[in-house]
Amino acid sequence: KQEVTQIPAALSVPEGENLVLNCSFTDSAIYNLQWFRQDPGKGLTSLLLIQSSQREQTSGRLNASLDKSSGRSTLYIAASQPGDSATYLCAVLSNDYKLSFGAGTTVTVRA
């Protein structure tokens, strides 16, 4: 059974600081890994999708890396802004096409 862990559970930083969010998974036989953003009381918004054959994906200030062999992914958010405050969820798609989620990292960016 795939287990996905996100550390830290919560993070508070001043505006302008870079954010580093970690995700680890127990079974390296994955199809892809996806990072989502969730605002309070809202649904999930897809941020980045990394296929198992890829090492990283970038979108604007966001960069996600994937090390499948060690079971780790890292989401970097450069020059954080108050609008980046949200919960960030990591999800791993296993080869049986089941998507497993971590519990998330709640980010607060202080103005």
Partner 1 sequence: NAGVTQTPKFRILKIGQSMTLQCTQDMNHNYMYWYRQDPGMGLKLIYYSVGAGITDKGEVPNGYNVSRSTTEDFPLRLELAAPSQTSVYFCASSDRGGGGYTFGSGTRLTVV
Q: Select from 94, 111, 110, 91 the least CA-distant residue to 102.
A: 91
Size of the site for partner 1 (CB under 8 A): 23
Please answer whether residues 93 and 32 qualify as being in contact, where contact means their C-beta atoms are separated by less than 8 angstroms.
yes
Please answer whether residues 25 and 4 qualify as being in contact, where contact means their C-beta atoms are separated by less than 8 angstroms.
yes
Q: Which is nearer to partner 1, 17 or 54 (CB)?
A: 54
* Near partner 1 by CB under 8 A: residue from 21, 91, 107, 109: 91
Return the residues of window 33-52 that contact partner 1 according to CB under 8 A: 34, 36, 42-46, 49, 51
Asked whether position 71 contacts partner 1 by CB under 8 A, the answer is: no
Asked whether position 26 contacts partner 1 by CB under 8 A, the answer is: no
Query: How many CB atoms are closer than 10 A to CB 10?
Result: 10
